[in-house]
Each structure stands twice: as structure tokens, then as C-alpha cells.
Structure 1
């Protein structure tokens, strides 16, 4: 297998911020397009899920998001995709070492967005506001994951153990508000988005292990990729922006359409 080490090094330099937050706007080096494409797929599934959720929220069409197996399974799939890609990208971003400035910048951006989500959800949902959702989790996982970035077998073992713990272990201690971000609660908290450390950090660790394996096999930096993967990669390259904007755009559009519908029939 012929591997262009210079190209790989440039690619890694661009992916220090998880492929979705570029280091500089003018950087033109090659990206890991397959990772971007996976993230883009997760974004499209998320938009579909939230679009259907908004239809229910506005009483246009009713879907049972809290009990129906399809919606419960779809949410698990979407979160699993996002957080495992965090692990893959974390491995790739730190393959040539930890770049403190890039990581601090990433964490600050993610934390700012997470706090904004909490504030907006507090206004919209009051008691069901988002106190530890997907962005809160990714922020913390991006820091903790640095401790495990060099391991392969250990991450498989720990990742699997955390998944099993999250499914099988519950304790009233973690029902206390201060500890709910960890997981292991005896009930699901009343919040619009909840991605606790356990079991989901297990998916991050498995993602790091997957990054190890895919990198060694040359799968990530050996195109060609299909035209559809390229299109998905374009979406994945702007995942954070899409995450922050898609709900206001969806809700706003549906509200306008709902008002137009009522004005026409009345």
C-alpha cells in the first residue's frame, strides 16, 4: 500500500478541530472526507428527527417520541453516530500530538454553543430545559477523550464496559440534580435532550478504537469516494453550524406554513 505521508500529515493538521470547526478559513488542505460524510449522514437523520418532532410540538402531526420503538431507536442511532464520530475524529486530530490552542478553541466554541442551547431551551421548555444534551456531552468528551487517544484494546474494553454499565446499573444517588449528567439514574430526567456520560462515553472510546483500526487499514485516506459521499461530506463539514441553525429554521418555517394554512381556511 502506497501512503503519501505528507498528504496525511496535512490532512491531520486540518482535522485538529474534529473536521467541523476549521482551524483557519483559508486552509485548503485535504480533509478526511469519509469522516465528514459519516457526520453529514448523522446531520440529515437529525434534521429529519427534529422536523418530525417540531410537527408534534406545533400540534400539526402527532408522533410518540417517548414510547414508540421507531423514534426511540432512531434517536439512539443518531446519538451513536455523532458520539462515535467524535471518537474517530479525536484520534485523527491528535495523531501527531495534542495541539493545546486548537483544542482550547474547540472546547470554548462547543461550550458556548451548549450554554446557548440551555438558555434557549429554558425559555422554550421551562422545566424540561436541556441541562446536559449532546453538545454538553461532546464538550466534556472532547476533554476526557484526550486521556484515551493512544489506546486501542483498552478503549474497546472500557467502552464496552461503560455501555453495559449504562444499560444494567441504576442507583438513586444519581437521581440527585448535581449527579444527573453522569447517568445511571433510575428514571429518565424531564429534559428535551439528555446524553449522559455513561453509557455514551463508551461510544466515544469505541470510536477512538475504530479510528485506530481504520487509519491502520488506510480506509480513511485512500479515495475514491462516491459522489454521494462527497455531497454528504459537504454537510458534515458544517455540522456545528447546522446543529445550531436547523431548529430555528425548521420551527420558523413550520410556524409560517401553519399560519398561512389557517389564514387560507378561515
Structure 2
């Protein structure tokens, strides 16, 4: 793996694909932010259609990592260029971890897209030069193994970045090595098969002139920079709007009351009593500052004790005979 600088045709189509992927990513994160602040009613993080959309974008991003490695280093690793780019990606990953630790302390990003790209870029280097069939085999193992093996030990944060968890830990972005390193290798395999073929020459001859394609190509060339800065920009716009509208708090209250009412009535309790009980519970969450722990799912022992006490008080409100029990 020595430094070389062989002339290869540039493929504008690759930049356009990257551009489409980064535009899709910005759209997804915009809608995620709007959903988080309850400006739109859909839960983007859990809605099946949005989950498929997000996974498709991630697949494109990770596959393009493999494509880019072959394009940049397939004739020999250009170490200075590789480490400059790697330092930029790793630095961006560190910035995301630190910033989300302050903005979303209960669900900060400790191994997201940029973290995965940084690690997978290093792991993939040897597979730029192994036989293509071997690279494809390793890719298939990484992609397929999580479908047949899982273990609760990987549910915990220290091991979750590997994959194989049954229930992922609470975080806003988690891109584990299994299966996503396999996707990087799939991109590398595809590009290695393309290089030197007539198809590569045909793709190199495609030079779109329309403004839209040129814009997408430019976005693709700067996709990592855009990825790093777009979410802070979106939050700077969306968060004040959501706070001004009070939509996030109102949405949380509506969700809590609807869920509580449904659960309460399922026990056979009269609807009117359930309404009183749930209003009492919501007031307790406000009074004791328990909204964030309840909605994040991260509740300390002391907070759980306070929730239990609030539930007893609300139960006594509709069933006075329970007072003191």
C-alpha cells in the first residue's frame, strides 16, 4: 500500500449521488427537529416510513465511504491525504459528541455516522487490495451476522457500538460496526469492479450540464462539511419557533394524557375518574420536574420513588379509601 498518483477519470455522477444523499439527510433531520419540537404531528424517530427513509440514507452514506476510499486510494494509499480527511471526520465526530452531550445529555451521540465513518475508513484500507471475492465475503459476514446473532450484553453503551444488541441504548444516533462496516465494504467492492471497466469510461463521460445536477455535484463534494454544520443551523431556526409556539410541551401533555387515559380505562375505571387521575399525574410531573426523565426513559431511583408517591396521591384522589396506603 504505497503512495501513487495514477490518472483516473473523475466521475461527476459520484458527486451527484453524494449530493442527493446529503440533501436527503438534511430533509430527514429537518423533519426530525420539527417532530421533536412537536411542530409536526408525526414521530419521525419511530414512524416506519421515516425509519426506512433514514436507513436508506445511511446505507447510501456508508456505501459511498467505500466508493470514495477506492477512488482516492485504490491504486495505493495516499497517506497524507487519507489522514487529513480522517482527522476532519474524527474531529467532527468529537464535536458532535460534545455538543449533543450538552443539548441532549440523556441521549447524546457517542457513536454516530461520523464516528462510524472514521473507524470504518481505517478498517477498510486493507480490503482495498485483497481479492475482490474476499472483500465481498467479509462484507456479507458483517451485514448478515446481526440478523442471526444478538446478545443483551451489547445493549449496554460500552459494547453497543459493535452491534448485536437486542434493545439499543438511548441515543439520538447509533451506527454500529455490524452491519455498517459491511456496507462500506459493499461500496468498495462495487467500485473495485467498476474501475478499469468500460462502464467506468461511460460514467466518466457523463457530465451533466443542468444547474440542478451541478448544484448537487457541488453539495456532494462538500457533503462532510454540510453534514457537520447543517443540524446546528436547523436547530437554531426550529428550536426558537417550537419554543415560541409551545408546541413541544403541548404535544408532550397531549401524548401523556392520551396514553394515561387509555391505560387507566383499560383497568375498568370510569372515564371521568381516569381524566381526574391523569390530570393529577401531569401536574405532578410539572411540579417535580420529571418531564425529561419520564420522556427520556432515564429515571433515577429517587425520581422513581417520587413518581410512585405521586401515583399513590392521584389514586387516593379518585379512590379516597386508598388515602394513606
- State the TM bucket, normalised to the shorter chain: 0.7 to 0.9
Q: Any residues of structure 2 matched to 1:230-241 within 5 Å, and which?
A: 230-241=214-225
Does the 8 Å CA contact 1:171/1:185 hold for their aligned counterparts? yes
Q: Which residue of 1 aligns with 2:135?
A: 155
Q: Any residues of structure 2 matched to 1:166-245 within 5 Å, and which?
A: 166-215=146-195, 216=197, 217-218=199-200, 219-225=202-208, 227=210, 228-245=212-229
Distance of aligned partners of 1:171 and 1:257 in 2 relative to their CA distance in 1, 3 Å threshold = closer
Other structure's SS at 2:21 match: helix
Of 72, 77, 81, which aligns to 1:93?
Answer: 72
Other structure's SS at 2:76 match: coil
Q: Which residue of 2 aligns with 1:82?
A: 61
Structure possessing the higher relative contact order (Cα contacts under 8 Å, 6 or more residues apart): 1
Measured in 1, the distance between the counterparts of 2:242 and 2:142 equals 44
Q: Which residue of 1 aligns with 2:49?
A: 70
TM-score, normalization by structure 2: 0.68
Cα offset for 1:33? 1.4
Gapped runs of 5+ residues in structure 1?
1-7, 13-30
Q: Which residue of 2 aligns with 1:26?
A: none
Cα offset for 1:225? 3.2
Higher CA-based Rg: 2
Task: List 4+ stretches of structure 1 deviating above 3 A.
Answer: 8-12, 255-262
RMSD: 2.0
Q: How many residues align?
A: 237
Does the 8 Å CA contact 1:11/1:32 hold for their aligned counterparts? no
Q: Which residue of 1 aligns with 2:100?
A: 121
Deviates more, 1:64-73 or 1:226-235: 226-235
Measured in 2, the distance between the counterparts of 1:73 and 1:168 equals 21
TM-score, normalization by structure 1: 0.82
